[in-house]
């Protein structure tokens, strides 16, 4: 594990990705995420298919990232997690598409920091156009991490080995408020 002398978080990778070097040899321990970082992340940001949050070390290298987009979920899948029963058949959610931190930087709270910024961004969206929560497909090794942040499993693991998880917007709002109190 590296000691990080300093790093910065960029909450708008879509706008700024071209000003960073993407860490050579990026490896987070999940082949799918490693491949995405190396072959698809720049293109997804450039084409504005996702928005992104990233951690950049003091050499200007992107070593951690989180990408977000939207999706519609069947109400039946998330009904138990919604505060109000009166919902349309399809409910809007923010989708955490990818979240990865290079192995050399894991275990230092960087992934959780990126996720808290993602919560803040989802809350801003919710205050303008209501969303019901955040959805993700968790890799097997990441399930406990997401559960520790309040995400709950929706279904059993799919054929690709990932587990669908959901976090209601009210839980994100509470987490953001608690973080604000703790830092203030």
Answer with the residue of higher pLDDT: 162 or 53: 53
Which pLDDT band, with edges at 50, 70 and 90, does 110 fall under? very high
Secondary structure (DSSP) of 98-120: EEEE-GGGTTSSHHHHHHHHHHH
Residue 2 inside a domain? The answer is no
Task: Find all residues with CB under 8 Å of 146, minimum gap 6, and list them.
Answer: 136, 138, 165
Residue 76 inside a domain? The answer is yes
Q: Distance of CA 145 to CAs 8, 111, 165, Å?
A: 22, 9, 12
For 116-158, the pLDDT digits (tens) are 999 999 999 999 999 999 999 999 889 999 999 899 999 777 7
- For residue 57, what pLDDT is reported? 94
Which pLDDT band, with edges at 50, 70 and 90, does 3 fall under? low
Which pLDDT band, with edges at 50, 70 and 90, does 178 fall under? confident
Structural domains of the chain, count: 1
| Residue 40, domain CATH | 3.40.630.30
Residue 1 inside a domain? The answer is no
For 63-99, the pLDDT digits (tens) are 999 999 999 999 888 888 887 767 888 999 999 999 9
Q: Give the residue numbers spanning the domain of 59.
A: 7-183
Q: Which residues of 39-57 are buried (b: 16+ CB within 10 A; e: fewer)?
A: eebbebbeeeebbbbbbbb
């Amino acid at each position: 594990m590296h000691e990080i002398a300093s790093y910065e978080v960029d909450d708008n990778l879509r706008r700024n990705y071209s000003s960073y070097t993407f860490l050579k040899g990026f490896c987070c321990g999940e082949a799918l995420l490693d491949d995405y970082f190396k072959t698809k992340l720049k293109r997804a940001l450039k084409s504005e298919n996702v928005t992104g949050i990233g951690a950049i070390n003091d050499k200007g290298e992107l070593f951690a990232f989180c990408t977000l987009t939207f999706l519609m979920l069947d109400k039946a899948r998330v009904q138990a997690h919604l505060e109000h029963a009166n919902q349309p058949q399809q409910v809007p959610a923010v989708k955490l598409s990818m979240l990865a931190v290079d192995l050399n930087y894991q275990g230092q709270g960087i992934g959780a920091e990126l996720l808290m910024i993602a919560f803040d961004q989802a809350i801003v969206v919710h205050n303008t156009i209501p969303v019901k929560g955040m959805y993700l497909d968790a890799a097997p090794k990441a399930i406990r991490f997401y559960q520790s942040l309040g995400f709950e499993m929706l279904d059993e693991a799919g054929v690709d080995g990932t587990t669908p998880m959901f976090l209601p917007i009210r839980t994100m709002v509470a987490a953001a408020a608690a973080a604000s109190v703790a830092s203030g």
